[in-house]
Amino acid sequence: MEVQVHRSTILAAPHAHPLEEEVPLTIFDLFASNINIAVLFAFTAPTPSDTEIIEGLSKTLVHFPLLTAQLDYSRLRRRRPCLVVGGKGGGALVVEATVAADLSDLLPLEPSADFLLLHPPTEETHHLFQVQLNRFRCGGLVVAAVTHHRVADGQSMSTFFVAWGESIRGTPITSLPVYDQSWIKPRSPPKCEFQHWDLEFVRVPPYRNGSPSNHQDEDPSKITNILLRYSSEFITTKLKPRTRGKYTTFETVLAHLWRKITMARGLDDRRHTAIRVTVNGRPRMRPPVPNEFVGNLVLNAYPESNVRLLLQGGPERAAKIIHDAVRRIDESYFQSIIDFGAMHGDDDLVPVYDTGGVVLSPNLEVDSWLRFRFQEVDFGGGGKLCAFLPTWVPIEGLVIFVPGLEQDGGLNVVVTLLKEHAEKLRQISHCLM
């Protein structure tokens, strides 16, 4: 795929914003992985001009100034790392590019390393939010955005993208962001009711050259990304009867995939396998935190099983393990880590995400974007959102649930595995045995 970059622009931080100059990272921001997340939105023609899209972005950033901030770990004036809004070197990077192909040549979008050409680099970046507008020969458009995870989680970014589309279309923003952190308040005195060391954070030597000292290097060429599609009919008539309809769609499909990925990896029966499942804290807090809260408010649940029991126990047992683990991450668990943050948040905390290398086997990391609003993103102009995917990910063992844009109510799942295991998974992904 031939991509030609024509110009780059830095949109400065808005002059008028509701935040202080320095915004300390919360314990949930510190828990988020220290990486950039890239996603792709593909729109059919006709679409607004680049000028209209960039003007809409400028208007939207007034309400989302953290995306133009800078991460400051220097601690020269404070103890906890923070986001600096309005400082020199901030702003959002916008790249305009053209692609010498028709968008239809790529549809339906399947994971590809070529996607890396459609967005700015995700390593050693100077901006917390970057976007590349890719104009195809047919008039189609792929908007590829890169956001640093410690600024915002998936719920926050889906709110942003919907608002950006509304600004482009000239309509009022229906869901304005919320920055009130009064929900993230420790008790007095703080009290940790759960063990958070080695689950959320680990004690390891300081970073070296921006990476944890125990990071494992692997050859990215051994890892591939695949997309699995599960229709609503398949889920309803094939998968849910195997769990007697007792579990959510997410729990049911994940139970099925956990077993199939374990089979595809060929794991020994005596091994242990676990999942890090992201859990959105907004609906679990009391009172609930609005979906429009911008930042990070996510923790992990940890379903686990012996491989032999996982495979022999069937999908209903796997779904129950997932359900019970997720249910345990409740209001009291979130409050406990808020108190942990009050007790340890000024230490050099390293999240578990940053210590495991790029091959997670025999374990998995699972993120669900099903309840976010990505499928509602509409840039106007008459074109329609025809595809939405995360970009190519060079990590083995990542599973991302993505809302399907088809009208049948199904879902898509991006899975990253070693190539030989990915090929096996393709063969058995819909097998009910």
Q: What pLDDT score was predicted for residue 288? A: 95
Dump strand ranges (E) for 149-218: 201-202
Lowest-confidence pick of 101-110, 144-153, 211-220, 381-390 = 211-220
> How high is the mean pLDDT of the chain?
92
Q: Is the pLDDT of residue 211 over 70?
A: no
pLDDT reported for residue 298: 97
Run of H or E including 386: strand 385-390
List where CATH 3.30.559.10 sits in the chain. Answer: 3-169, 207-370+393-428
Sequential DSSP letters for 392-423: ----BTEEEEEE--STT--EEEEEEEEHHHHH
Q: Distance between CA 207 and CA 155 in Å, rounded? A: 29
Please provide the DSSP assignment of 174-192 as one string.
SS--B---TTS---SS---
Q: Is cis: bond before 189, omega within 30 of 0?
A: yes
From 127, 148, 149, 344, active-site residue: 149
- Indicate if the pLDDT at residue 346 is higher than 90: no
Residue 131 has pLDDT above 60, yes or no: yes
Q: Which pTM does this prediction carry? A: 0.93
Asked whether 340 and 27 are in contact (CB, 8 A), the reply is yes
Pairing outcome for strands 82-84 and 70-72: antiparallel
Q: Is 264 helix (H, G, I), strand (E, B) or coil?
A: helix
How many Cβ atoms sit within 10 Å of the Cβ of residue 228? 17
Strand, helix or coil at 364?
strand
Across 358-363, average pLDDT: 95
Quick check: 8 pLDDT over 60?
yes
C-alpha 403/C-alpha 122 separation (Å) is 24
Query: Region 183-212: what's the mean pLDDT?
Result: 79
- Evaluate whether the domain defined by 207-370+393-428 bears CATH number 3.30.559.10: yes
Helix spans in 38-153 (H): 50-61
Question: For the chain, how long is the longest CA-to-CA vector?
Answer: 62
> Average pLDDT for residues 203-226, to the nearest whole number?
62
Q: Is 346 a catalytic residue?
A: no
pLDDT tens column, 397-408: 999 999 999 877
pLDDT of residue 17: 59
- The phi and psi torsions of 34 (rounded to 5 degrees) equal -85, 60
Tens of pLDDT, residue by residue over 43-94, are: 999 999 999 999 999 999 999 999 999 998 876 556 678 898 887 778 999 9
pLDDT of residue 76: 58
Specify whether the CB–CB gap between 19 and 65 falls below 8 A. Answer: yes
Sign of the CA dihedral with 231 first, then 232, 236, and 237 last: negative
Q: Contact at 8 Å (CB) between 310 and 269? A: no
Residue 22: the pLDDT is: 86
What integer pLDDT is reported at residue 424 of this predicted model?
98
Q: In the structure encoding, which two tokens stand for residue 363, read together?
A: 């374990």
Mean local confidence (pLDDT), 349-377:
92
d(CA 27, CA 321): 27
Q: State residue 212's pLDDT score.
A: 41
The helix/strand/coil state of 168 is helix
**What is the per-residue pLDDT across 223-240, written as a single tens digit (0 to 9) for each?**
999 999 999 999 999 999
What pLDDT score was predicted for residue 303? 98
Average pLDDT on 143-166 reads 97
More confident residue, 279 or 433: 279
215 pLDDT higher than 60: no
At 129, list the tokens: 């939010």
Helix, strand, or coil here: 205? coil
Share of the chain residues as helix, strand and coil, in percent rounded to the nearest 5: 30, 25, 45
Identify the architecture of domain 3-169 in CATH.
Answer: 2-Layer Sandwich (3.30)
Q: Is 397 left (phi over 0), alpha (psi -120 to 50) or beta?
A: left
Known active-site residue 148: no
Determine what percent of the chain is predicted with pLDDT higher than 90.
81
State residue 379's pLDDT score. Answer: 97
**Spatial distance between the Cα atoms of 45 and 66, rounded to a whole number of angstroms:** 31
Instruction: Please give the Cα distance from 62 to 67 (Å, whole number).
Output: 10
Residue identified by tokens 């220290």 is 34
**Angle at CA 84, nearest 5°, toward 81 and 88?**
130
pLDDT of residue 221: 86
In the predicted model, what is the mean pLDDT of residues 150-154?
Answer: 96
pLDDT of residue 68: 95
The pLDDT of residue 210 is 41
Residue 194 has pLDDT above 80, yes or no: yes
Rounded mean pLDDT, 166-188: 95
